[in-house]
Structure 1
Amino acid sequence: MSSRNAGGDPGGNRATGDTRTKCSLKTSNSSSLGKIGRMLGRRAREKSVDNSLFSVGCITRGQMSRLKQISSDDLDVVTTSLIKKTTQNAAGSSGGTNSNKSKHVMKRKHDAETSREPEKKPCKASVSNIPRHVTAVTNDVNPKKRKDLRSRTTSTESSSSNSSSCKESNGILTAPSTPTKKPVVPGDTAWLQRFLQWNSREKIEMLEHLIGVCQPHEVRHMLEVIEPQFQRDFISLLPKELALYVLSFLHPRDLLLAAQTCRYWRVLSEDNLMWREKCAEEGINEPYISKIMRGGCKRAGSVWKSSFLRQARIETNWRNGNTKPPKLLKGHDDHVITCLQFNGTRIVSGSDDNTLKVWSAVSGKCLRTLTGHTGGVWASQMRKNLIISGSTDRTLKIWNADTGSCMHTLYGHTSTVRCLALHGNIVVSGSRDATLRAWNIDTGECLHCLVGHMAAVRCVCYDGHRVVSGAYDYMVKVWAPETEECLHTLQGHTNRVYSLQFDGQYVVSGSLDTSIKVWEVEGGTCLHTLMGHQSLTSGMELRDNILVSGNADSTVKVWDILSGECLKTLEGSNKHLSAVTCLQFYGKFVITSSDDGTVKLWDVKSGKVVRDLVTLDSRGSGGVVWRIRASQTKLVCAVGSRNGTEETKLLMLDFDCESK
């Protein structure tokens, strides 16, 4: 074979190359081997094999394309051996082209003889270093070509296990011997058994190493095999009960996204019981029955899901300040609104002008004006269509909200009725005469009189079983109304008690001494004294074990009554600038009003102001928000001023609207 043919165009020599036996590297002259070595050296640096081997007639184009996958390390080994072979041939060669041709003929005869002899077992060192994708080249070679290639790779070689360089045996080039593991071959499961014996960390490290040495097309193949395993619809393979159980762990937002996956997932995501549990987690205890839709058809799907989505939309509106046009409910002239009740459909306001007004929470119109008291109204309660009021004229009155008529006038107290607590058809009143009385609102009868305080009763709670009262004598008392017995006198405050919360197990009292105390009802013991406020606690709300307190020092605090820890102080650059007058603890939010003429919405979890819900034009110059009441969708504020800068009125905001 001439030097020209070794480096010539493979396409031009293909016809003649297929008609003769491919010559081996051993019979190539020094010029040809040198050229091949230089070509392979260049291709080794490029991590690919071009047409070099095809040019010398060793393999076909199909085999050559597979050899392109040989790693650069393997090519470096081949290149080094070829350069060594070139040097040896150059030193011992003295003939020309004719001599090379005679050697080539002798080589062909030798190959023919060795092909008939029993095939020798290859050396371990040689086989262990032949890449699988190199040995696989011979799979599609015709028998004649395969025989020639086999003769190149199965020659016997004597080598040491520690050898690090290529060796030559019988003129056949072999790979260096290294202490590597026997390669995995099809049908051999020993490697799999060993892999299974490794721990998880070792398996992961092995897989990472395997991926690192794989060629890109091999990695792509692994990806094609693995990826479908993560795209299986395992939910559809489960029984419905188990599928619903799995989906119940999703956040509602993720559950809504899952419903868009396929029809079956959508059916599962409409499960009414699952959405009822989601609603309970958000404090939604009643389903929202939607109105008749256009066309006379009711909304399809889970009513609890509809309730949840509606709640989510309304919550977004609270955060973003999206409301229907505000309604102004003007009344009571320039007097102070002293008490406020709201049940979602009706608003009842009491004033020091001796009257109460009943308003529609839908239209904002004044439905009734209740007149009859001869003194200012300082306390009120509402149940369905009944309204109970207490006045400075020392009486209580029971009103029919539908007709505006007074059903009963309750006499017994000898001073101003300052506070009321309603449970069922029993109302308990506290008075400045230091007594409490229990009344039947259906008959107007006084059932019990509780005597024991030494000063005016300022606040009272009643859960249907126990009565708890706080007074200006610094005391908190727990009563059994049926026996008119004082069960416990809770002593510890050093000033007047202005506010109370009672959940049946714990009593929380707020005092002018700036402290808040947590009491255990049955034992009458003080569990915690909550310190942190600097002035009078004007209002408190208790939900489970979380207490929110508003103070005249302009701060709002969130407490855990079981641990006595202050969880959050609701403040910041946008905090109230004056005393907190009232607060409402509603789900995730706290709503507060202040003497500074603003109403703020706070996020309980973060302790930050979400936004200002109301800002009076007269803020900072006398405008005051005295009272607030909130429902899921509405906020009612009683506003006015101390110096006539703001007219007395009610402001109603409705957040049940489409989000912008």
Structure 2
Amino acid sequence: MDHAQPTPQATLYMPIIPPPTPAPSPPIPQSYGFGPDPTLASHLSAFKSLSYAARRQHLQALIQECTPSELLFLSTTITPLLKRDFLRALPPEVSLYILSFIDDPRTLARAALVSRYWHELVNDEYLWKHMCRLHGFSRDAEAVEAYRREHLRQEALAQDNLLSLPSVPSGEACLSPVLLPRDYRPRPPSLEFPYRKYFIHEYIRTSNWLNKGKLLRIHRAQLYPPPPEPTMPGELGPNEPPIPPNPAIPTSVAIDSQWVVVGLANSRIHIFSARTGVLSRTLIGHEAGVWAVALISEGGDPVGLPPSTAPPEGDPLVATPSQDASLPPTLRAAVGLDKPGSPVRMRMRKPSFPDPFADGRRKPERPGVGKPSYPGGSSDGWGQPNALVVSGGCDKELRIWDVKSGYCIYVLRGHTSTVRCLKVLHGRPIAVSGSRDRTVRVWDVQRGRLLRVLQGHTQSVRSLDVCGNRIVSGSYDCTCRIWDVDTGACLHVLRGHFHQIYTVAFDGVRVASGGLDTTVRVWDASTGACLALLQGHTALVCQLQLTRTMLATGGSDGRVITFSLKDNAFNVIQRLAAHDSSVSGLQLDERFLVTSGNDGRVRLYEFEFDGRGGGGGSGGEAQCRFVRDMCEASESVWKVAYTRETCAILCKKGGKMVVEIYSFKP
């Protein structure tokens, strides 16, 4: 029986019947208003022919006749039509001019969140430059210069990090996500000043000053250490009492952006970090109390020394030969003898920035007078890689220390009595010291030698100040003297006080001096003439500071008086009953005044600024208002010193020497 072969199965396609087409939509009735309606057209033509007042009455009548659902329909229809970005509709110059009337930076920051276009407008540097002037941040030339250098340093470091990426040999896989072309050239640092970033930085820093800031560290030490045990044979006689050690009383302080240096009466020098408040090291070497310290910041721009001013070896004015030949390589590098500086620092000095606020800042009265000394006791370096400390005291010696290692680099001898005051010139390795031996001596701290002996005073030299290549010394012989540091010549002798002079201040144009006769005298530095006799204190004038437009004085009567220097009027701006006892510290800048007293208080005052180039007081003078006490009350405050971002307070609490370090850095 034959079996039939199976036939291959064919693919069957089933037809898909499409769904039925829906019925057409009915026509929209003309009563909805979407089609031509002759009644609506006549109403519109009649509405257009009405006057402005009649149209408003007509609309008001229609709204009153609408139901809630119709009113909701009107609201959702009208609201999008009313939304309009008026700043986008205007030219950018006009929009920026409108935004420049905003004086609150927080309002300006909130405006940047409206839209992307507003964000671009608010980030324009013109607005923040205007805001800097409005809030007075353009007045402090030192703050602007410091931020400009920091901006340049960050860009230089970014270039270094980019160039330090490991190179990839040809034919190998690259493990780094960044590839530099062969013809890559590092871009030069941007010369545009970042006004917005600078304003944010200064605004936060000022707010920190007003709101207390951050207490980094509190250091406590025994003020009167226990006397030595009289058990060592041969040291003391049978009936001789033990000699008590000197107390740890702070006698001097110097501060910059990195370090806080404190000299003590027990011959020690403490160095604290200004960034963390940690006690970094203690310098031991003086055999008696330290009465003066000066801090030389690392880096800096060197100021050229004319060849004729450097005395040759064998000059009779040179008391000691150079000591640099015996230095080890590490200390030679610390003072800048062998190593000029890192590549980043060298690049920082090459570009020449224009002053970003030059058109709005008052120019100095006499150009070329030099840079005044910092009230915090520090000075700019001459390009050396390490920070240095210069100290002097009762052992008649000056010592040069390397802050990084803590080693003593030089011991400078020559004074025959206590070194009472000390200053270092900006950008030059020259220190000036005044002593109870009635002399002022000029030292080369880079090579460790005495340059000159300035003689003329007949009693102890109590205070010094420097500016450029000029020195001003105040003495117990009731006179001040102005010296040329390069030649050693006495340019002027300032006579007028009838009692001992305790403090002097010098800005290159004027000299201010105060002393035991309770008066302050202001002198012309170029002619030596007395410009003004200022009275108001009833006791010793022990604190002075000169600024561009103001003279501040502090006395043992607890008063702080500010005088105006505009047009040489020397009018009293303000009399402050700052303390109940003697003013032990006084420092001010363009915005703040800080005072300390033996009553145990440290007080902060703020100068009111109206944003139009003058102060908030009458006549455009800068009046200051009390803000707050900067620390808890103590038994006594010996010293206070601050920079823009750090403040050091040296006081006595509970019978101990206390060092409090505050930070106001954003």
* TM-score range normalised by the length of the shorter chain: 0.5 to 0.7
TM-score normalised by the chain length of structure 2: 0.58
The reply to whether residue 269 of structure 1 matches residue 122 of structure 2 is yes
Look up the SS of the partner of 1:627 in the other structure: strand
| Deviation of the 1:650 alpha carbon | 0.8
The aligned amino acid for 1:564 is F
Look up the SS of the partner of 2:288 in the other structure: coil
The reply to whether residue 529 of structure 1 matches residue 533 of structure 2 is yes
Alpha-carbon distance in structure 2 between the residues aligned to 1:482 and 1:325: 42
Does the Cα contact within 8 Å between 1:436 and 1:451 map onto a contact in 2?
Answer: yes
Does the Cα contact within 8 Å between 1:583 and 1:591 map onto a contact in 2?
Answer: yes
| Deviation of the 1:533 alpha carbon | 1.4
1:243 to 1:577, Cα distance in 2 relative to 1, 3 A:
same
Q: Which residue of 1 aligns with 2:602?
A: 599
Q: Which residue of 2 aligns with 1:422?
A: 424
The reply to whether residue 323 of structure 1 matches residue 214 of structure 2 is yes
Among residues 650, 653, 656, which one is paired with 2:662 in the alignment?
653
The reply to whether residue 637 of structure 1 matches residue 491 of structure 2 is no
Deviations 1:202-261 (A, max 9, x none): xxxxxxxxx9xx89959x99xx9xxx9x9843884145xx76677667646365455455
Q: Which residue of 1 aligns with 2:373?
A: none
The reply to whether residue 309 of structure 1 matches residue 312 of structure 2 is no
Does the Cα contact within 8 Å between 1:570 and 1:602 map onto a contact in 2?
Answer: no
Does the Cα contact within 8 Å between 1:430 and 1:457 map onto a contact in 2?
Answer: yes
| Deviation of the 1:382 alpha carbon | 0.8
Q: Which residue of 2 aligns with 1:346?
A: 259
Alpha-carbon distance in structure 1 between the residues aligned to 2:88 and 2:516: 62
Does the Cα contact within 8 Å between 1:329 and 1:364 map onto a contact in 2?
Answer: no
The aligned amino acid for 2:200 is L
Q: Which residue of 2 aligns with 1:506?
A: 510
Q: Which residue of 2 aligns with 1:157?
A: none
The residue correspondences of 1:543-622 to structure 2 (distance < 5 A) are: 543-561=547-565, 562-571=568-577, 575-605=578-608, 606-616=623-633, 619=634
Q: Which residue of 2 aligns with 1:382?
A: 295
The reply to whether residue 454 of structure 1 matches residue 458 of structure 2 is yes
Alpha-carbon distance in structure 2 between the residues aligned to 1:656 and 1:590: 18
Deviations 1:471-516 (A, max 9, x none): 1111111111222211111111121111111111111111211111
Q: Which residue of 2 aligns with 1:436?
A: 440
Look up the SS of the partner of 1:608 in the other structure: strand
Q: Which residue of 1 aligns with 2:169?
A: none
Alpha-carbon distance in structure 1 between the residues aligned to 2:561 and 2:109: 35
Does the Cα contact within 8 Å between 2:222 and 2:655 map onto a contact in 1?
Answer: no
Deviations 1:521-558 (A, max 9, x none): 11111112221111112212222121222211111122
Deviations 1:553-612 (A, max 9, x none): 1111221123201111223xxx42111100121332111111011111112335332111
The aligned amino acid for 2:626 is V
1:247 to 1:649, Cα distance in 2 relative to 1, 3 A:
same
The reply to whether residue 494 of structure 1 matches residue 498 of structure 2 is yes
Q: Which residue of 2 aligns with 1:628?
A: 640
Among residues 233, 236, 243, which one is paired with 2:87 in the alignment?
233
Alpha-carbon distance in structure 1 between the residues aligned to 2:536 and 2:505: 18
Percent of matched pairs sharing the same residue: 30
Q: Which residue of 2 aligns with 1:174?
A: none
| Larger mean Cα displacement after TM superposition, 577-586 or 599-608 | 599-608
Look up the SS of the partner of 2:513 in the other structure: strand
Q: Which residue of 2 aligns with 1:401?
A: 403
Q: Which residue of 1 aligns with 2:231?
A: none
The residue correspondences of 1:122-271 to structure 2 (distance < 5 A) are: 217=56, 232-233=86-87, 236-238=90-92, 251=103, 253=105, 255-256=108-109, 258-260=111-113, 262-271=115-124
Alpha-carbon distance in structure 1 between the residues aligned to 2:458 and 2:413: 21
1:273 to 1:409, Cα distance in 2 relative to 1, 3 A:
farther
Does the Cα contact within 8 Å between 1:327 and 1:653 map onto a contact in 2?
Answer: no
1:647 to 1:531, Cα distance in 2 relative to 1, 3 A:
same
Does the Cα contact within 8 Å between 2:222 and 2:656 map onto a contact in 1?
Answer: no
The aligned amino acid for 2:410 is H
Look up the SS of the partner of 1:233 in the other structure: helix
The aligned amino acid for 1:654 is S
TM-score normalised by the chain length of structure 1: 0.59
Alpha-carbon distance in structure 2 between the residues aligned to 1:215 and 1:452: 97
Does the Cα contact within 8 Å between 2:215 and 2:660 map onto a contact in 1?
Answer: no
The answer to which structure has the higher helix fraction is: 1
TM-align CA RMSD: 3.8
The aligned amino acid for 2:599 is D
Alpha-carbon distance in structure 2 between the residues aligned to 1:364 and 1:330: 15
Q: Which residue of 2 aligns with 1:23?
A: none
Alpha-carbon distance in structure 2 between the residues aligned to 1:249 and 1:520: 43
Does the Cα contact within 8 Å between 2:593 and 2:607 map onto a contact in 1?
Answer: yes
Alpha-carbon distance in structure 1 between the residues aligned to 2:529 and 2:478: 16
Alpha-carbon distance in structure 1 between the residues aligned to 2:631 and 2:557: 20
1:522 to 1:282, Cα distance in 2 relative to 1, 3 A:
closer
Look up the SS of the partner of 1:508 in the other structure: strand
The aligned amino acid for 2:520 is I
Look up the SS of the partner of 1:312 in the other structure: helix
Alpha-carbon distance in structure 2 between the residues aligned to 1:585 and 1:554: 17
The reply to whether residue 478 of structure 1 matches residue 482 of structure 2 is yes
Does the Cα contact within 8 Å between 2:294 and 2:391 map onto a contact in 1?
Answer: yes
Alpha-carbon distance in structure 1 between the residues aligned to 2:258 and 2:440: 31
The reply to whether residue 280 of structure 1 matches residue 286 of structure 2 is no
Does the Cα contact within 8 Å between 1:337 and 1:352 map onto a contact in 2?
Answer: yes
Does the Cα contact within 8 Å between 2:503 and 2:513 map onto a contact in 1?
Answer: yes
Alpha-carbon distance in structure 1 between the residues aligned to 2:55 and 2:552: 62
Alpha-carbon distance in structure 2 between the residues aligned to 1:311 and 1:318: 11
| Larger mean Cα displacement after TM superposition, 322-331 or 381-390 | 322-331
Alpha-carbon distance in structure 1 between the residues aligned to 2:111 and 2:505: 43
Identify the structure with bigger relative contact order (alpha carbons < 8 Å, sequence gap 6+): 2
1:325 to 1:652, Cα distance in 2 relative to 1, 3 A:
closer
Does the Cα contact within 8 Å between 1:471 and 1:498 map onto a contact in 2?
Answer: yes
Look up the SS of the partner of 2:138 in the other structure: helix
Does the Cα contact within 8 Å between 1:516 and 1:529 map onto a contact in 2?
Answer: yes
Alpha-carbon distance in structure 2 between the residues aligned to 1:551 and 1:265: 54
The aligned amino acid for 1:305 is R
Alpha-carbon distance in structure 1 between the residues aligned to 2:55 and 2:483: 82
Alpha-carbon distance in structure 1 between the residues aligned to 2:493 and 2:129: 43
The reply to whether residue 357 of structure 1 matches residue 357 of structure 2 is no
How many residues get paired? 431
